[in-house]
Structures are given as structure tokens and as C-alpha cells.
Structure 1
Amino acid sequence: MHELERSTWIAMNKGEKDAAMRSLLSRLPQGFEYQGFTAFQRYGKTNETGIFTYKDSEFLFIPGDQATLGWERWEHGMDEATQQDLIESLSEYDIEDSDQFLRDQMSPLRQAIIGAMLVERVPRSAGWQEVPLEELSALDEPEVESELAKFRASTYSEYERHLHFRLIRQEEEIVLYMFNEDLTYDQAVSSLLDEGFSLLTEDEWEYCYGGGCRTLFPWGDSFNYNFKLKHFEDLNTDNTSREYDLELPNAFGLHFTGDPYQCEWTTREGLLMPKGGDGGSMICGGTGVVVGYLPAAAVYYRDPYSEDVEWDDMMGHLHYRRIVRL
């Protein structure tokens, strides 16, 4: 459908866009509902789109486009603070050519055809599954029940037993997640396909995250030291309870984990390609915020060691989002 391509989509008025969104329902898996038409704005970009729901999740329309992806050189260049941060971190590893270092961490420059699609707004955990508290007694998990009672009486916001269970306090509620250690890669893929969904390719993910921008980060070539970030909260003197900046929706309305310890499941040539993080490999080395957050913030970051990581080792910090290609 020609109206689903970005150049045509931008030229359409709101009524035409709304009608185009309603016409998609006949092509979607059963259970999708159209909720309306809206706009999102971030980093100086604005996109109008349709919101759909499927069971407990929201999906957003992303128009098709021909995009330039990958990173080869600066668009505008770093500011002094970013450059100093980068050089200081790399000097500890005897790396002198910072530009070559960045090129080695990024996907190569290329042209890609991105088809129109519906994309799940918030990524899901691959290995962790939410379990209603009323179902806990049927799981025969006395340790979890004991720790839940302690957690209720505590002031902790989160507690996790490694690759076993996780308790999170959300306002007045406590949410329990159990780790599914028996889930295999093939089972995860089959479950998605059976529901009529697909996974983002690396090209699609980079486009969804950066919108086709040519800068290192979605907002430019320099790091924003005013951001509130996990693991570097002392960067910003604003101690309010506002959300972490990299978790806020982007111009497409999509949420990302914004955490280098996490990553998102995409595919490249049919193989698992984690994006949006590296499991904490770089940040664990004590690097500055620019290098430490490169995997989570740089649009075209590609973990150079991803092919060596096994599914069982990755699924604890792996997330995914379902899509429907149109």
C-alpha cells in the first residue's frame, strides 16, 4: 500500500491517515483493535501514527522508508566534554584512534529498505515471565514465598535471586517474575510465529531506534550529560523521581531499555543479533559514561562479540518486541 510509505504518509492529512490505519485491521492477526491516531515528539522530531492494541500490549504503526543505516564518520562532531570523556576511557586500554574504535563498534554503512510494520511499544523479557501472586502457591516454591513475605515488610523497591525469581514494587503492588531456564531458542521463535508475529531485523531495529538519523546518538553526536541514567545517576544533580531519559518514548513512540546491561533480540541473516546493549561488558570495565553507555545509546552499535554468546547465557538480560510486517 503506497500510503504506508513514509514520503506519502507525511503528505497525508489526519483524516486520510486515520482511515489508512482503520483499513489495516483486516490484515492483522485476530484480536488487534485500533485505538486512534496520535503524535509523538522527541529529540526535535515528530511522527504521527496509529495506536493498536493486542491483548495487554500496545503496537504502533511505523511507515516504510528507504534508510541509510550504519556509522562511518561524524555528522557534526563531538563537543569537548564528550571528546574528553571518550579519550580518557580509551587511553586506559591504550587505544589512540577514537574514530576507528567507534567504527569498529558500529554496524557498517549501508542502504536498507524498511517495510511498513506494527511494532510493540515496550519490549518483553525473553527469560523472565510475570507470575500472578495468587498462582505462586501452585508452583511449589517455598523459598520464593519466604522471600516475598520479607520483601513485603521491607522498603526495597526490587529484589532478585540470580536466574530464579525477581520481586519489584510498583507503587502499592508487588510484581513477581520467575526465570524460565528451560526455554530454548527454537521454542521462543515458534511461539512468536504461532501467534502471527515476527522479530525485528537489525536493520528494522536501528531504524526504529534512530529514525534513520546520521548522528552517533538519536539526539546528536555529543553525549547529553543532563540525562538521568541508570548506573550513572550522580551525573545529574536533579534527584527527583523522574524517569530515566533513555527509557522515555522516542519520536516513533517506542520505549527502549536504555540500559547497557540489557539488550534487545533482533535477527541478522536469520541469526540472533542483540541490540541496544552488551550485557554490561563495557560498563563493567569502569569506563566513563560515553563508552559505558555506547551499547545502549549509540544508534548503530553492534556488539563485536555477539556471535560468541550462547542463548542460555543471554536470555537473562534479553528482551524482544513483536512486530507485524504490513
Structure 2
Amino acid sequence: MNLVDQLDWSYWKRLSDKEKRTLFSQVLMYFVNPLVRITDIELKEFELYGIKCQTFELLLDDEEFVFIPGNKDAILGWNLGTKGLSLLETAPNSPRVDIPENLQNSYDLLDVHSLADYINDNTSSLRKVKIPPMFVQRYALPAGTSFLGVYNAITGSFTGQADQFSAFEADIHEILCPNLSPSESIRWSFPKSVLKENHWYIEMMPKSDCYYIYTHESHTYTSLRKKVRKKNFDLLTEDQWEYANGAGSRRLFRWGNDLNIYDPYRGKKIRNLMTGRNMFGLFFDTSMDRFELTEDPGVLKLTTQHLHTGLPIVDKLALSTYYTPDRTLLHEEILKPSEYLYRKAIIVKI
């Protein structure tokens, strides 16, 4: 049995911790560029909705990655329509149902059979694929950026790569702590994000007074992909992205099919499942404000479109593991960090 075959999940999960460590050291030796700095390797167990995976998390050049074992027989895609969904997901959750005209012309979303067609038409086709083992970046980054650290807008403290941050600390401090008159200060609020092209990009952390700090370079899809491929990195293909998101589970969403986030008893738990780590220890954006790039510029994941129809499954379908947005990216389009995310990976293949 060759090295890659031993990294298939069916074999990997039967190994002892010691055997996993021995095998993983070989993977690092043969598949990670020797110019990449490897630190903080730790064997961890992750779980989501009954799917468990014991694997390694590590830092590659100070960026967080997780190793995902391969799967020779992964089932991806969706053709089950509303199967597995309850009335809480498929029926209106408000007195008013507001369906956009373009959808009204194609579907009767209040009819369960037409709704099933809508779901199937907007998700990838059912298929069996071979997923290689891979190192996947834990967080997707805004397009054209590299992560530096976290800045507290209240205290002015910074945690991260301080030497690089010092070059534009004064600019950021001036934007986040402007000199305002008393009347101006009443109306002022912290910006959600600020971009200084080809210098830096900042983005507010959810429910926090802190900002993620990034360096920034303007990129098209072509130039970003070229940069990513340095040091043996890639973007994920559609198959790899869907597997990394939901592990091939036969559910529309990685956390299950529950979308009732406003339930007074279970809503908080559902939101935590949606926004937390998945069964591989990865995080996926749930803001529905950005697309995530894949290895194919014609295939994007997630969405920038907010729907408020009153039908939970329609409004949240873009968070599905298998959702396929009707959007094609032009090779030479400048990628705005506020509209696109990218996630680096190392694909283990012979």
C-alpha cells in the first residue's frame, strides 16, 4: 500500500495516534515545500453533527492549516429536493412572503414540488468522486490579502506580525480613532472594513471591537492563482471544496438541515453550529456577503446575494455545502477583498 492510499479516511481512522504521527511526518517531508516553515503541529479531534475526524492542525508560514484525509468514494452533490427538511425550513417563517419576480417566473416556491426543483437546480449534481488527502487553510482570506494579526480599536494593542504592521499603524489608528467634535462623535461608528489598495486592508471582527489586519495587493483571478501556486499551494476544486465543507454528508448543510436560528430555545445553538468549526476544524463564512474562489474561475461558492423571501430554505440555501451560484468570474476582473475570499491548500497526490 503506497503512502497516499494509507491517507484514505477509511484506513486513517483505524490508525493509532503513534501511527498517524509517523505517517504524517512522511507527508510533511514529501509534499510540503521545504521553504515553508512548519510549526505548532498538534493532533486534534473535531466533530460536527455526528461526524468525527482525528487529524492534525499546524501552522504553515504562520498560517493555520488542517490536514484532511482523502476519500476514494466520496458522494457529493444533491438531487433530493426537500427530503430531510421540515416545515420549519420549507414553510414561511413570517406573515409576509416576498419572492423576487425572477424566481416567481420560474418556480412556485410555496409548492413543495416546485421548491424541490429550485433546490436541485441551485445545487451541484449528485456524483461519486475521489478526494485526495489535502492540507486546507482553516480560514478563507479576503482576496489579495495576507493575514498579519488582530488590532484592538479601543486599546490600540496589536497581536501578530508587529514589524510589518508598524509600517501602516499610524494610518489605521487615524481612521479608527479620528479627531472628532462632540457632535460628530455621536454620529460616528467604526467602519466595517477599510481598504488602502496595495498596502493594507482591515475588517472588523464580528461582535467585537477588534479588527483583522491584512497586507493587500491588487489581484485578478489569474494573478492571485499564480501567487497562490508559489511554494506548492493551490486553490480547492469544487469537489474538494464541497468535501472540505461537509465531508460528503447526505445533508444540505454541514451542521444538519436546521435553519431555525430565531427559535428562542435552539436558535443560539444552531447559529453556533453554523459559524463554528466543522468536522475538519475549518471555518466557512456565513455572512452571505462574499464568494469563495475555487480552482476553476467558472465555479464560485457562497454568495453576495441576500434574499428575504420569508422561506428559510430559500433565504439560506447559499450556505449549503452544494450550493452553486449563477455567477462566472472573469479571469482579468480585479478581485475586491470585500467581495471575494480565497483559501489555500496543498493537494497530496502522486
Identity of aligned residues (%): 23
Name 2:33's counterpart in structure 1: 29
Name 2:260's counterpart in structure 1: 225
Q: Which has the higher helix share?
A: 1
**Runs of at least 5 residues in structure 2 that lack an aligned partner in the other structure:** 109-113, 149-163
CA offset at residue 162 of structure 1?
7.2
Matches within 5 A, 1:1-40: 1=3, 2-27=5-30, 28-30=32-34, 31-33=37-39, 35-40=41-46
Q: Distance in 1 between matches of 2:216 and 2:42?
A: 35
CA offset at residue 130 of structure 1?
5.5
1:317 alignment partner, one of 323, 326, 339: 339
SS of equivalent residue, structure 1 residue 7: helix
On the 8 A contact 1:127/1:318 being kept in 2, the answer is: no
Matches within 5 A, 1:165-204: 166=202, 168=204, 175-177=212-214, 180=217, 182-204=218-240
CA offset at residue 123 of structure 1?
1.2
On the 8 A contact 1:128/1:316 being kept in 2, the answer is: no
On the 8 A contact 1:18/1:36 being kept in 2, the answer is: no
- Residues 151 and 254 of structure 1: is their aligned pair in 2 closer, same or farther, counting only changes over 3 Å? farther
On the 8 A contact 2:136/2:345 being kept in 1, the answer is: yes
On the 8 A contact 1:74/1:215 being kept in 2, the answer is: no
Residues 63-95 of structure 1: CA distance to partner in whole angstroms, max 9, x if unpaired? 111211111015842111112038956587432
1:206 alignment partner, one of 242, 248, 253: 242
2:125 alignment partner, one of 108, 128, 151: 108
Q: Distance in 2 between matches of 1:179 and 1:301?
A: 29
On the 8 A contact 2:82/2:116 being kept in 1, the answer is: no
On the 8 A contact 1:61/1:118 being kept in 2, the answer is: yes
- Residues 188 and 39 of structure 1: is their aligned pair in 2 closer, same or farther, counting only changes over 3 Å? same
CA offset at residue 258 of structure 1?
1.5
Q: Distance in 1 between matches of 2:143 and 2:100?
A: 36
SS of equivalent residue, structure 2 residue 91: helix
Residues 13-50 of structure 1: CA distance to partner in whole angstroms, max 9, x if unpaired? 22211221122221111222461211011112110001
Name 1:278's counterpart in structure 2: 303
Matches within 5 A, 1:250-289: 250-268=278-296, 271-275=297-301, 277-279=302-304, 281=305, 283-284=306-307, 288-289=311-312
Residues 129-157 of structure 1: CA distance to partner in whole angstroms, max 9, x if unpaired? 5575521279xx6xx66423329989955
Residues 101-121 of structure 1: CA distance to partner in whole angstroms, max 9, x if unpaired? 111101111111101111111
Name 2:324's counterpart in structure 1: 302
Q: How many residues align?
A: 306
On the 8 A contact 2:139/2:283 being kept in 1, the answer is: yes
1:117 matched to 2:124? The reply is no
TM-score, normalised by the number of residues in structure 1: 0.79
Name 1:98's counterpart in structure 2: 115
On the 8 A contact 2:220/2:332 being kept in 1, the answer is: no
SS of equivalent residue, structure 1 residue 68: strand
SS of equivalent residue, structure 2 residue 177: helix
On the 8 A contact 2:221/2:332 being kept in 1, the answer is: no
Paired letter, 2:12: W
**Which consecutive segments of 4 or more residues in structure 1 shift more than 6 A?**
151-155, 169-172, 237-240
Name 1:78's counterpart in structure 2: 85
**Runs of at least 5 residues in structure 1 that lack an aligned partner in the other structure:** 227-233
TM-score, normalised by the number of residues in structure 2: 0.74
Give the root-mean-square deviation of aligned CA atoms. Answer: 3.5
CA offset at residue 177 of structure 1?
4.8
Name 1:160's counterpart in structure 2: 193
